[in-house]
Structure 1
């Protein structure tokens, strides 16, 4: 099934584990697949750069993790861990018959999943980009951690998501854009999945990867909105200094979702990196 969005980007879907896995892409058959992973938000974070990536010859696929965004299913504490999500992403790639080296980019907790894919080899990752990703012990952020193991009502989740999205968008925070980002959380199933993702958030999943990342020869790119109050740029600076073959690009006056603040600059950085 497929649907064209108002921007000309396609929303399409495949079946993974008997459930619908939804993704944003651009209609083309280019061989250079770029898999784009989100974290506590959804595929909407990649929408501003998809068209530019496609124009450069890349085939971007921004997938919604199970139970989140427009994908079916529902996450549990067991299926929302970073290793479990990495396994699911590998099954998603298999459902699309993606083979050979795949370029991967991750935002937020999606960056932890991307790092896990690189280290543990569920996919053959050719190049890795991380955009305001969780690193080391930088997560879970306090606004996420406070929901772990707590009994919360739906309005609490929606209010917290509105506050987080507004802060993450910084200068790009219009009422329409905030509403776009919040739309999936009007579904109680998605709210429960997000709660599971919050409950399963654990920095040991990234800390455990550091020794292998220090041995990795895979090219890596960090793109960072400098005004991020959730994932501080200091973590990116540390990663760039400790992990080989890593380049850091800083985006001034951008927050946790810098694709909304500087889509042209970020698309160009991704294009230069993934077509090198």
Structure 2
């Protein structure tokens, strides 16, 4: 990843619940911006973190338990969206983040971010969702099949890696170079990470995003949607619906971008985030 990692972005770790938790950050004063991933890992935020840091923000892209470079291991109980929201609040506490914090979530991380907001687990000043799960948009078919215990038991490591390669290649769209695909897949070479990922997708349930809709409609916190228009996992129609139904929401569409627009269009995505978080 050295070819695209700006020198100001560092990887470090802290203990949460007795396990090492890895995160990328720009170590400086400024508004803390928690960047949450979903079925991938903190790598999705790397292309925009330097720009957030240059704007005076303190971006923090954490690897959820058992995923990416973090220790620990998810279970079907700890891998649910509400449980992950509780864990993120404990992570923020471990970092001694006090006062308002901005939150951005991608994929299932966006579902976690919505729970953080409406259940007051953190003092969320602004919420950004990037090609996030919403309403009943998830789990998508490529991961929903892993909710079947029989399929999970019969799936080999090679089959998981192949499925992840296929999904990552689709998600990266035009940004899918062999090196980038390899970077994204690297954590899944660890059996513990594969088990954690299977637990997260096994716990995937759209009731967690459906049940927060009434509270989101009442919520006055500013919200930003950034959406790769060509995403065939989380379709832009869901973003359009969210923007039309949830007050205080702005939608920024990213043309010619897929499920991970931070890779397809890091400049426009970073610009939209910086403008939103530095108002």
- TM-score normalised per structure 1: 0.97
- Residue in structure 1 matched with residue 130 of structure 2 by the alignment: 131
SS of the residue aligned with 1:47? helix
> How many Å apart are 1:156 and its aligned residue?
1.1
* 2:203 maps to 1:210: no
On the 8 A contact 2:165/2:185 being kept in 1, the answer is: yes
CA distance in 2, matches of 1:199, 1:146: 9
- Residue in structure 2 matched with residue 255 of structure 1 by the alignment: 258
Deviation sequence 1:165-223 (CA, Å, 0-9, x none): 00000000000000000000000000000000010000000000000000000000000
Aligned length in residues: 272
- TM-score normalised per structure 2: 0.96
> How many Å apart are 1:7 and its aligned residue?
3.3
- Residue in structure 1 matched with residue 73 of structure 2 by the alignment: 74
SS of the residue aligned with 2:74? coil
> How many Å apart are 1:26 and its aligned residue?
1.4
> How many Å apart are 1:147 and its aligned residue?
1.2
SS of the residue aligned with 2:146? coil
- Residue in structure 2 matched with residue 23 of structure 1 by the alignment: 23
SS of the residue aligned with 2:251? strand
Unmatched runs of 5 consecutive residues or more in structure 1 = none
Unmatched runs of 5 consecutive residues or more in structure 2 = none
- Residue in structure 1 matched with residue 13 of structure 2 by the alignment: 13
Kindly report structure 1 stretches of 4+ aligned residues shifted beyond 3 Å: none
> How many Å apart are 1:153 and its aligned residue?
1.1
CA distance in 1, matches of 2:52, 2:65: 24
* 2:231 maps to 1:234: no
Deviation sequence 1:4-33 (CA, Å, 0-9, x none): x953220010000000111001132x2211
Q: How does 1:102-181 map to 2 (within 5 A)?
A: 102-148=101-147, 149=149, 150=151, 151=153, 152-181=155-184
